[in-house]
Structure 1
Amino acid sequence: MSKKLLKSGLIVSFMTLISRVLGLVRDVVIADKIGTGVGADVFFFANKIPNFLRRLFAEGAFAQAFVPVLSEYQERDEKNGTNETRELISKVSGTLGVLVSIVTFIGMIASPVFVALFGFGWFLDWLVDGPNSEKFDLASSLLTITFPYLWFISFTALAGAILNTLGKFAAAAFTPVLLNVCIIGAAIYLSPAFEQPAFALAWGVFLGGLTQFLFQIPFLIKAGVLVKPTWGWSHGGVKKIRKLIVPALFGVSVTQINLLLDTLIASFLITGSISWLYYADRLLEFPLGLFGIGIATVILPSLARLHAKQNPQEFSSTIDWALKVVSLLGWPAMAGLMVLAQPIIMVLFMRGEFTEHDVMQVSFALYAYLSGLLSFMFIKVLAPGYYARQDTKTPVVIGIKAMAANMLFNLMLAPIFGYVGLAIATALSATLNGFLLYQGLSRKGIYHIDKNTLSVILRLIFSALVMASTIYYLSPSFDIWLTLTFSAQVLKLVYLIATGAITYFICGAIVGIRLKHFTSKTS
């Protein structure tokens, strides 16, 4: 089973790699077009709100509640020879469609209210300065354009959850590529048509959502699960999902809520704060999406099936295997980004409106975020241990504690460190969240890390530290990086990354890390 999961995980990670690379290209284009000024701050803000709601309605809480119930229905159909799964999909898609349509319509009409709520600092400026307050009015206009993305992406994520549960991971994993292509195309070809390039990017988000939605339909037809949506509020499966989703709405979206709270506080800080946090978060999301989310995507359906089959030992082994796999790639990713943060930011973004000063500011936020990278990854692996068992209440309690801690950390650190304090607070609250998730699984006897797994992780950490030390020794100072041509910077960066990877795996082999640790759940 673990080899099959590893193969599925590699498929998802490869597709995610394509998406993340294009995502970096997208951010490079955005940095060139709008830098970190007013337009950048406002666009990132307008894009963040529908993305947050997407986590609630689709990829986050909804998916975590839907996949276990769908797996249960599939297991029942296989046993009894029934066809209840298609009916469940019909009722769920119809019910979700009505709810998301209402929310989308309200969001478009009431976009100034959302801006006032989550960008309160801009709202206060608008009250004081009126027409001279550019950010509030621009954010309201952009949000009206980006909000329909919620509708498109909710159905895209629903289709992806269905295909993933059927073991068809490639299509759903490839879909985000289309969003990046649309935003890149809009930035290059539409931005000259607008006085404010942020409008072109907003339309790119709209077109990206539409394209992703249409792309999934042929795959649903091929899998035989494209059904007519019907209202099903009182359907048994929908009622079960409703029961599971209410607490999950908060529990699984704590990270997103924290990021929105960061945005709220950042709206009171100096111009550029939101943009600096955005670019740092994007670099953090690269390894997190590639390794953490890739593995989490494939283990949730597997864990749900194992729970339905009442196989607790295999259930625990699957979580154990996932922790080792994300550790294999997560620790060197964190160490490497820590050492090479500034040259990577320089190579990717420092052109056009993005300055040397911005490189430094983004790197400070990235250092803070990276301290919580493994915590974010472990959350992605541990949370499915609850949702697969249809336990959405426990993560809520944990989520409340983590969010309260995040706000406390924000209030403590933001006055001292500014936007960097917000990033530190996010990392600290993620670490608390991950620890409490593990503690809960351990107390219930669901999963407890054994000595062999702990030994593997410690050896991986040691190898990552050796790798980081090697890269640091070979890397020139920031001032020297600035004197290099772009091609020389790229070549030097490739050399350092390749040297680091070779050092990491050689050191790992020397301290006893073997392939069997990641291909067998019992190793």
Structure 2
Amino acid sequence: MTAPRSSLLRGVAAFSSMTLLSRLLGLLRETVIAAVFGANAATDAFWVAFRIPNFMRRLFAEGAFSLAFVPVFAEVRARGDEAALKAFVARTAGTLGGVLLVVTALGIWGARALVHVFAPGLAEDPARLALTADLLRITFPFLMLVSLTALAAGVLNAYSKFALAAFTPVILNLCMIAAALWLAPHLRIPISALAWAILLAGVLQLAIQLPALRKLGVLSWPRWGATHPDVRKIMRLMLPTLFGSSVAQINLLLDTVIASFLFVGSQTWLALSDRLMEFPLGVFGVALGTVILPTLARHHLSTDRAGFQRALDWGLRTALLIALPATVALVLLAKPMIATLFQHGRYNAFDTDMATLSLTTLSCGLPAFALVKVLAPAFYARQDTKTPVRAAIVAMVVNMALNVILVGALVWAWAAPELHRGGVLETLAHTPGLHMALGMASALAGYLNLTQLWLALHRQGVYQAQPGWLR
């Protein structure tokens, strides 16, 4: 296992180094946005408008599509027919692009309705609703662009070229920083500068992938291929993974719905908390999951069961080794970290206290989120999509129930007596700190999802812990 483990480690190192650069710039981005815009109704509108296509990006591009595409790509590549491989990539790109072009057009046309669905609390404020819908019309095409970027990244990852794919988010961060500092002061609606930056970043992220694909000999004009057998296989695998691969993102979007009824600024505090928690998860957890999926798929195709188990065991150990100390650091240092990074300009001490509440609770789920990033590919590499879906649906339903229960408990404990007489919506909108319950519910649901996947692997006899866990 020494050579394969060394190969995995090099892949993780290459992916993590670029992701680390992206996450550091992401922190700088959040610092600049907090200083320039603060935490208010306008920033809440932007984060809702960004979260909707970003949710779909993680669901389709980084989630279901990538997890279905990589094993099928490995299978087609193993046949040794370069022309067939190139045609397969072209057919996949054409089909994915065509479907997402229609989805994007519908999203722009129905932006106002989408805001009603995903942030119903804004219906009581027509100005905030209109601003959010206008921003969503600008950001929604990002979904199509970044999904095609994910297709290109999947091809590069299959050739063990992880660095370029991991570098692409750097472009998004640079565009948003530049827009906040230099474009926003010149616009009638300053916050719209961030939306235009996202659209530009989507174009640039896709463009930088194309030369690498050409060098590998797999770049050609996209073609519609919905009837192509391997494309149809991706679709069959992809549909059930829509839930299984992205339960954390679905939970985050449900949090957006509830947060739209809460104290002004809750969306921004949750987005900032998610950004800080995603720092170690993105640098290491996502890197492990991305690198280990092609390796597990190859072991499965060659029926190397022992190699499959060793690779998975290595991934789980590495994820836990990083996630546990990161969790302790985030929980203990949440307030000084947020104050140091973000308490500048229009971002004040009250915002720091509120973001600390959600970061502390959400970070408790980091070990579960990281381990799921490694466990889920163990199912997808074997083209088993049903098991993660069942686990994800259970976890999602429990998360929704916990959101309501925990928010209700905090209202009972924290809300001023005079607010209870004003009705439920008024109580929610005027009691700060209730967003803390959403982070707590997401963390608990993450552990439920992890437990189900762990037990399923043992029932199927796919994984047995290797010696040395207690050393």
Please classify the TM superposition score into its range, dividing by the shorter chain length: over 0.9
1:255 — aligned with what? 248
- How high is the TM-score relative to the length of structure 1? 0.84
Q: Work out the CA distance in 1 between the residues paired with 2:243 and 2:320.
A: 27
Code of the aligned partner of 2:186: A
| 1:284 positional shift | 0.1
Q: Work out the CA distance in 2 between the residues paired with 1:191 and 1:343.
A: 29
| 1:416 positional shift | 2.5
| 1:414 positional shift | 1.3
Code of the aligned partner of 1:65: A
Q: Does 1:155 align with 2:148?
A: yes
Code of the aligned partner of 1:326: A
Is the 2:310–2:466 contact (alpha carbons within 8 Å) kept by the matching residues of 1? no
Is the 1:26–1:183 contact (alpha carbons within 8 Å) kept by the matching residues of 2? yes
The one-character-per-residue Cα deviations of 1:2-37 (angstroms, maximum 9, x if unpaired) are 101101101100000000000001000110111110
| 1:84 positional shift | 2.0
Q: Does 1:12 align with 2:28?
A: no
| 1:446 positional shift | 0.6
Q: Match of 2:394, SS?
A: helix
| 1:82 positional shift | 5.6
Q: Match of 2:67, SS?
A: helix
1:201 — aligned with what? 194
Q: Does 1:56 align with 2:72?
A: no
Q: Does 1:439 align with 2:455?
A: yes
Q: Which residues of 2 match residues 402-417 of structure 1 at below 5 A?
A: 402-417=395-410
Q: Match of 1:175, SS?
A: helix
Code of the aligned partner of 1:438: W
Is the 1:369–1:424 contact (alpha carbons within 8 Å) kept by the matching residues of 2? yes
Q: Work out the CA distance in 2 between the residues paired with 1:421 and 1:335.
A: 19
1:216 — aligned with what? 209
Q: Does 1:122 align with 2:115?
A: no
1:499 — aligned with what? none
2:307 — aligned with what? 314
Is the 2:39–2:346 contact (alpha carbons within 8 Å) kept by the matching residues of 1? yes
The one-character-per-residue Cα deviations of 1:247-280 (angstroms, maximum 9, x if unpaired) are 0112112111111110001111110111111111
Per chain length, whose mean CA-contact separation is higher, i.e. which structure has more relative contact order (CA < 8 Å, sep 6+)?
Answer: 2
Code of the aligned partner of 2:93: S
| 1:49 positional shift | 0.5
The one-character-per-residue Cα deviations of 1:155-191 (angstroms, maximum 9, x if unpaired) are 1111001100111111101111011011111111110
Q: Work out the CA distance in 2 between the residues paired with 1:337 and 1:32.
A: 22
| 1:341 positional shift | 1.1
How high is the sequence identity, in percent, across the aligned residues?
45
Residue number among 414, 419, 425 corresponding to 2:441 in the alignment: 425
Is the 2:395–2:448 contact (alpha carbons within 8 Å) kept by the matching residues of 1? yes
Q: Match of 1:60, SS?
A: helix
| 1:435 positional shift | 1.0
Code of the aligned partner of 1:113: A
1:328 — aligned with what? 321
| 1:450 positional shift | 4.3
Structure 1's consecutive aligned runs of 4 or more residues displaced over 4 angstroms after TM superposition are: none
Q: Which residues of 2 match residues 64-463 of structure 1 at below 5 A?
A: 64-77=67-80, 83-123=83-123, 125-126=124-125, 133-417=126-410, 418-450=434-466, 452-453=468-469, 455-456=470-471
| 1:215 positional shift | 1.0
Is the 1:67–1:162 contact (alpha carbons within 8 Å) kept by the matching residues of 2? yes
Residue number among 22, 27, 30 corresponding to 1:27 in the alignment: 30
Is the 1:57–1:100 contact (alpha carbons within 8 Å) kept by the matching residues of 2? no
Is the 1:319–1:385 contact (alpha carbons within 8 Å) kept by the matching residues of 2? yes
Q: Work out the CA distance in 2 between the residues paired with 1:98 and 1:273.
A: 36
Q: Work out the CA distance in 1 between the residues paired with 2:299 and 2:464.
A: 17
1:47 — aligned with what? 50
Q: Work out the CA distance in 2 between the residues paired with 1:51 and 1:162.
A: 21
Code of the aligned partner of 1:18: L
Is the 1:304–1:389 contact (alpha carbons within 8 Å) kept by the matching residues of 2? yes
| 1:197 positional shift | 2.1
Q: Work out the CA distance in 2 between the residues paired with 1:226 and 1:380.
A: 29
Code of the aligned partner of 2:465: I
The one-character-per-residue Cα deviations of 1:266-301 (angstroms, maximum 9, x if unpaired) are 111110111111111110000000110111110001
Code of the aligned partner of 1:352: G
The one-character-per-residue Cα deviations of 1:91-125 (angstroms, maximum 9, x if unpaired) are 111100100000011111110010000011112x0
Q: Match of 1:383, SS?
A: helix
Q: Work out the CA distance in 2 between the residues paired with 1:71 and 1:202.
A: 36
1:36 — aligned with what? 39
Is the 1:53–1:150 contact (alpha carbons within 8 Å) kept by the matching residues of 2? yes
Is the 1:75–1:308 contact (alpha carbons within 8 Å) kept by the matching residues of 2? no
Is the 1:33–1:197 contact (alpha carbons within 8 Å) kept by the matching residues of 2? no
| 1:327 positional shift | 1.8
Code of the aligned partner of 1:423: G
Is the 1:276–1:362 contact (alpha carbons within 8 Å) kept by the matching residues of 2? yes
Report the RMSD for the aligned CA atoms in angstroms: 1.1
Code of the aligned partner of 1:422: L
| 1:451 positional shift | 5.5
Is the 2:59–2:249 contact (alpha carbons within 8 Å) kept by the matching residues of 1? no
Is the 1:39–1:196 contact (alpha carbons within 8 Å) kept by the matching residues of 2? no
Q: Work out the CA distance in 1 between the residues paired with 2:453 and 2:381.
A: 14
Q: Work out the CA distance in 1 between the residues paired with 2:70 and 2:242.
A: 15
2:431 — aligned with what? none
Gaps of 5+ in 1: 127-132, 457-523
Q: Work out the CA distance in 2 between the residues paired with 1:18 and 1:187.
A: 20
Gaps of 5+ in 2: 411-433
Paired positions, count: 445
Is the 1:346–1:359 contact (alpha carbons within 8 Å) kept by the matching residues of 2? yes
